[in-house]
């Protein structure tokens, strides 16, 4: 069976790095393609889906363009903007464009984004979307109707390893694996100790986990994340370091590098969110 490079890397047990790009707000693809091409040491690149509930170009097209450019994409799909029919049809389209990796998410609520008056769909949740992908890979759609040609994907999902109560978060993690998740990318990790605790349990399950590493640029940005981004919690000790640093971005790189160090010791890779500072990736990954 053909495998995506991401799947190969993880199967081979190599420490795997992914990064992400956001589709343009508009129709000019040059910047997103340039950013994706400039990543170094990165196996696959996530393409976000109206991230933070802000309307942008559909990720399916951007991921298809990355395939054409020889860059392996991870297509993110959320349940917020599409019902089960639209999701399935986009997933079939993804297969036709040569997209192999999927990251299947519930999605941030529309009230966080630039279209707060939009009706959020959530016809499926992330677990049910994973099951839908499973069905398609069996050659049938969600209602059991036969497909002409069977897609093959490497489906992934998200997990918030620092979320409490642990047991409540972990049951959903298990459900996602039972529903076909073959890899995980985590919500931004900031507390190495808690992440290690999560991995101690997750390792038993065996599905590879890439720790989400978000590059903090300043104390102000950290506070903004805490106030505005669901599921992201930057601890005060990091904010303090950023505040006291002569060059906050350098300090952010140092924090990210420390967290990558934690990831190297306990999980299968990292997913880097560098938000415009892709040039710092080699430093973040530096052992």
> Counting contacts by CB under 8 A, is residue 89 touching other proteins?
no
Residue among 107 and 269 whose Cβ is closer to other proteins: 107
Q: How far apart are CA 162 and CA 231, in angstroms?
A: 9
Supply the minimum distance, in Å, between the C-beta of residue 157 and other proteins. Answer: 10
Please give the structure tokens belonging to residue 241. 């370091």
By rule CB under 8 A, what count of residues binds other proteins? 38
CB–CB of 17/46 below 8 Å? no
Residue among 4 and 179 whose Cβ is closer to other proteins: 179
Residue among 134 and 218 whose Cβ is closer to other proteins: 134
**Which residues within the stretch 204-243 sit at the binding site for other proteins (CB under 8 A)?**
230-231, 233
Q: How far apart are CA 126 and CA 104, in angstroms?
A: 6
Chain centre to alpha carbon of residue 17: 12
Going by C-alpha positions, the residue among 132, 71, 137, 61 that lies closest to residue 97 is 61
> Counting contacts by CB under 8 A, is residue 48 touching other proteins?
no
> Counting contacts by CB under 8 A, is residue 46 touching other proteins?
no
The binder of other proteins chosen from 160, 207, 268, 274 (CB under 8 A): 160
Residue 102's region, left for phi above 0, alpha for psi from -120 to 50, else beta, is: beta
Supply the minimum distance, in Å, between the C-beta of residue 36 and other proteins. Answer: 25
**Which residues within the stretch 105-124 sit at the binding site for other proteins (CB under 8 A)?**
106-109, 111-112, 120, 122-124
Going by C-alpha positions, the residue among 208, 265, 266 that lies closest to residue 11 is 208
**Within the chain, where are the H helices?**
5-11, 30-38, 59-68, 84-96, 126-137, 166-178, 192-205, 219-228, 236-244, 248-266, 281-285
**Which residues within the stretch 52-81 sit at the binding site for other proteins (CB under 8 A)?**
79-80
> Counting contacts by CB under 8 A, is residue 40 touching other proteins?
no
Residue among 177 and 256 whose Cβ is closer to other proteins: 177
Chain residues binding other proteins by CB under 8 A are 79-80, 84, 106-109, 111-112, 120, 122-128, 131-132, 142, 158-160, 163-165, 167-169, 171-172, 175, 178-179, 187, 230-231, 233
């Amino acid at each position: 069976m053909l495998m995506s490079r991401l799947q190969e890397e993880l199967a081979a047990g190599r420490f795997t790095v992914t990064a992400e790009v956001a589709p343009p707000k508009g129709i000019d693809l040059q910047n997103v393609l340039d950013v994706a091409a400039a990543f170094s040491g990165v196996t696959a690149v996530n393409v976000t889906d109206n991230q933070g509930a802000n309307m942008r170009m559909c990720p399916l097209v951007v991921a298809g363009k990355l395939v054409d450019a020889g860059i392996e994409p991870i297509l993110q799909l959320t349940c917020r903007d599409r019902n089960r029919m639209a999701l399935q049809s986009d997933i079939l389209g993804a297969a036709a464009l040569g997209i192999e990796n999927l990251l299947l998410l519930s999605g941030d609520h529309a009230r966080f984004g630039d279209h707060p008056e939009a009706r959020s769909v959530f016809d499926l949740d992330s677990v049910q979307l994973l099951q839908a992908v499973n069905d398609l890979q069996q050659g049938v759609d969600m209602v059991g109707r036969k497909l002409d040609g069977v897609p093959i994907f490497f489906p992934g999902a998200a997990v918030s390893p620092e979320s409490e109560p642990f047991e409540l978060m972990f049951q959903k993690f298990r459900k996602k694996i039972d529903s076909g998740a073959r890899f995980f990318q985590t919500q931004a990790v900031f507390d190495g100790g808690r992440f290690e605790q999560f991995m101690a349990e997750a390792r038993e399950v065996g599905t590879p986990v890439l720790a989400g590493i978000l590059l903090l640029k300043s104390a102000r940005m950290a506070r903004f994340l805490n106030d505005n981004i669901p599921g992201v919690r930057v601890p005060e000790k990091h904010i303090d370091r950023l505040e006291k640093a002569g060059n906050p971005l350098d300090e952010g790189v140092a924090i990210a590098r420390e967290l990558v160090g934690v990831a190297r010791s306990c999980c299968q890779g990292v997913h880097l969110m560098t938000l415009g500072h892709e040039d710092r990736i080699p430093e973040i990954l530096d052992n």
